[in-house]
Amino acid sequence: MSRRPKVLLVVLASASIALGQDTGKRYPDRYGDPLPPGSYARFGTLRYRSTWDVQAASFLPDGASLVTATMKDVSVWETATGKRIRTHAIEGGCGLAVAPDGASIALGLHGGAVGVWRLESGGRVWQAEADSLDVRTLVFSPDGSAVAVGTQTGSLRVFESVTGREVRSFKDPARAISAIAYSPDGKWLAFAGADRRDDPGPVPRIHLVETATWEEAAPFEGDHGWILSLAFSPRGITLASASRDGTIILRDTPGGKELARLGGEGDPIGG
């Protein structure tokens, strides 16, 4: 009885030494990804596993790839397998939009900058200062010619996607521009913020701009709580707004007449 523990310790020690030997051969894990030298198994997977916290994500137009932005890099993942296709060392990403052709991305950066990068090479096309705070809300126009950027200090700024030239800006006495949407034909640009009012509190407003003239229609009101998402119907004649209190409101455009009100159970709705 007294010798059994010693024999067991010898066996375990021998196994540990054998497993720890580095033959230089790289073994794959169960998904086919290479293990570090000297390793024979992996708990978990590298698929869809970002080294840093993901701040924003968006599918490419064909749905075959997913783009993620972190404070340290931008990565492209294969949707079907979760395999990382490429990574670019673009730091500070906290907002992300993919161009309609999938060739470029727009990034809102920590500290208030915004810019456009080529997705294949990671090369920067342009970069500009948009705000003094992080930029998290931005979207390409349907034809890819412009990038609309919402700031946390209440401005909407529109840049040419190729040159970075600012073509228009709008100011709302708001805490932040929390949602932006283009109509499918690019005719209308909607954005939402909340007024600085002490009584009865922040009042959400939706602004609608005609992009051909940059003239603004009368703001829409009636939402409760922060508006977290805006979306046009495929024909562009209906605008949906989703707010933090769980309410979804459908309005006709450009008149703003309320067509339906859904939800309102208190759970935030965003997109």
Tens digits of residue pLDDT in 218-256: 888 877 778 889 999 999 999 999 988 788 999 999 999
Q: In this predicted structure, what is the pLDDT of residue 269?
A: 59
pTM of the model: 0.81
Give the C-alpha separation, 156 to 169, whole Å.
5
CA 46, 50, 52 angle in degrees (round to 5)? 145
Residue 102 gets the label, from left (phi > 0), alpha (psi -120 to 50) or beta, of left
Q: What is the pLDDT of residues 148-198, one digit of tens each?
A: 999 888 889 999 999 999 999 998 755 688 899 999 999 999 998 755 444
Q: What is the pLDDT of residues 9-57, one digit of tens each?
A: 333 333 333 444 555 677 888 888 888 887 878 787 888 888 899 999 9
Q: Rounded to whole angstroms, how far apart are CA atoms 92 and 89?
A: 10
Residue 3 C-beta-side C-alpha neighbours within 13 Å: 0
| Banded pLDDT at 263 (limits 50, 70, 90) | confident
Structure tokens, 242: 């989703």
Tokens of 134: 């992080």
CB 183 within 8 A of CB 236: yes
Q: What is the pLDDT of residues 80-108, one digit of tens each?
A: 999 999 999 999 999 999 999 999 999 99
